[in-house]
Amino acid sequence: MTSAESYYPDEPVKPVVKTSTIPGPESAKQIAQLDQVFDARPAYFIADYEKSIGNYIVDVDGNAYLDLYAQIASIALGYNNPALIKAAQTPEMIRALVDRPASGNFPSADLQKTIKQILKFAPKGQDHVWSGLSGADANELAFKAAFMYYRANQRGYDTDFSTEENQSVMENTAPGAPPLAVLSFKRAFHGRLFASGSTTVSKPIHKLDFPAFDWPHADYPSYKYPLDQYEQENSLEDDRCLALVEHLIKTWKTPVAALIIEPIQSEGGDNHASNYFLQKLRDITLKHKVVYIVDEVQTGVGATGKFWCHEYADIQPPVDLVTFSKKFQSAGYFFHDPKFVPNKPYRQFNTWCGEPARMIIAGAIGQEIVDKDLTAQVLRVGDYLFQKLEALQSKYPTRFQNLRGRGRGTFIAWDLPSPEERDLLLKKLKLNGCNVGGCSTNAVRLRPTLTFEEKHADIFIEALSKTVADL
Ligand SMILES: O=C(O)CCC(=O)C(=O)O
Ligand SMILES: NCCCC(=O)O
């Protein structure tokens, strides 16, 4: 029995689209009502989460879409997953929700077990975790950890703060508030808060009107596809970008304390970084004593065929911090050097110090992935899907440019010639029963759940073929 069959015996056998427009009339009515209390302009339709099941999201008009977007890459196992419902019905979960602890001051007796369960799924080389609330929060917490570590290395971990530091920090000036930078990459997406927003460089709309830190943005490699035909060009591109990273670290107006990178830039266009590039960044960060942060918010938790995407690169020594959120539901960062725990309490602290209910769910998701060997399934289904997409690419080369993600599970994307054609494709795909997302301005990205199987891929390819023929 396949994972989808065992979890979802009642999953629809194919999409059902009952309305001639999407949103359908009931969705449109409810979007207008919702818009009175919430900015509902980005809503594609109103979902019925009670009826959504497995790989199908159902809307209030009764349309059932095969979902290859899965809440912007955030549903690991499918809708109404029985194992997660079971985890949600435990006394431990009820305590976490009803009497939510302020875990820093009043941790529950359950917390140690919950954290140990999450740590079972830590990336190779990492054995500590700190919890936050969202992807952006995870990255900002990681930046704080990196800055404290960087300064502790300069002053000595056990050395107390000077009077001057204690006074100047209250004026937001140095040396208490030192001028330090985080280096990120053009086209990156690390969240929309203030520090994370300064490292995000994918679209102006994410950043406009907010004061920003003056931090450097290096070029992220832009490869030519198919990769096996452009090895030399792509290797030169890696070296060009690496030289730029090192140049920025050496010359930036303030010291670069940390570097953050997505192993595949997702919102910014599904841009891949080679194993070589990710390893060389380790060499550069070690040489210049820069904290190396890998953002696995979107790439983490199985969809690339490994639990953590950067594990493909087997980076040695392991990176310093790995941030997560989305498919893990809980958010935070993994680390291994105990000196990333600040020298004093209350430096990395807030009322909640994470969300125990979400942490319990993260542990349950990880357990299901391992028990059902879902990363192996993702690799198998991803290869199957990729081959079908290559066949479509041969037929429609202009509509399937830069097909990418071979050997990276179902984490697949390609480009359309223009944003208009991409948007039209996504719109028509919905009318043909498939909910698919975009990224960058003209890319299509596939982000199905880990329980997506060959039979789902066949349905998608049929809908896609029909849609592309009709563009
Ligand atoms: O589209 C994405 O990949 C990122 C989604 C997100 O977190 C955002 O837009 O704030
Ligand atoms: N980064 C947000 C994506 C939302 C959308 O394009 O629908």
Structure confidence at residue 461 (pLDDT): 98
Residue 298: is its pLDDT beyond 90?
yes
Q: Is 311 in the pocket of ligand 2 (CB under 6 A)?
A: no
**Cα–Cα nearest to 69, from 461, 431, 449, 454:** 449
- Ligand 1: which residue has its CA nearest to atom 2? 267
Structure confidence at residue 211 (pLDDT): 97
Atom of ligand 2 nearest to the CA of 206: 1
pLDDT tens digits for range 171-216: 999 999 999 999 999 999 999 999 999 999 999 999 999 999 999 9
Q: What's phi and psi for 132, nearest 5 deg?
A: -130, -155
305: left (phi over 0), alpha (psi -120 to 50) or beta: left
Enumerate the active-site residues.
189, 295, 326, 351
Structure confidence at residue 3 (pLDDT): 87
Q: Is 72 in the pocket of ligand 1 (CB under 6 A)?
A: yes
The structural domains of the chain, ordered by start, are: 3-44+53-81+374-469 (3.90.1150.10), 101-354 (3.40.640.10)
Q: How many angstroms is it from 170 CA to the middle of ligand 1? A: 34
Ligand closest to Cα of 136 equals 1
Residue 258: is its pLDDT beyond 90?
yes
% of the chain exceeding 90 in pLDDT: 99
Atom of ligand 1 nearest to the CA of 298: 3
Q: How many angstroms is it from 176 CA to the middle of ligand 2? A: 38
Cα-Cα end-to-end distance for the chain: 38
Q: Is 189 in the pocket of ligand 1 (CB under 6 A)?
A: yes
Structure confidence at residue 2 (pLDDT): 85
**Are 456 and 67 contacting, i.e. CB atoms less than 8 angstroms apart?**
no
Q: How confident is the model at residue 368 (pLDDT cuts 50, 70, 90)?
A: very high
CA 280/CA 233 separation, integer angstroms: 17
Q: Is 295 in the pocket of ligand 2 (CB under 6 A)?
A: no
Q: Is 328 in the pocket of ligand 1 (CB under 6 A)?
A: no
Q: Is 59 in the pocket of ligand 2 (CB under 6 A)?
A: no
Q: How many angstroms is it from 228 CA to the middle of ligand 1? A: 30
pLDDT tens digits for range 444-460: 999 999 999 999 999 99
pLDDT tens digits for range 307-359: 999 999 999 999 999 999 999 999 999 999 999 999 999 999 999 999 999 99
pLDDT tens digits for range 15-31: 999 999 999 999 999 99
Q: Is 298 in the pocket of ligand 1 (CB under 6 A)?
A: yes
Q: How confident is the model at residue 1 (pLDDT cuts 50, 70, 90)?
A: confident
Mean pLDDT of 101-124: 98
pLDDT tens digits for range 387-424: 999 999 999 999 999 999 999 999 999 999 999 999 99
Atom of ligand 2 nearest to the CA of 42: 7
Q: How many angstroms is it from 447 CA to the middle of ligand 1? A: 13
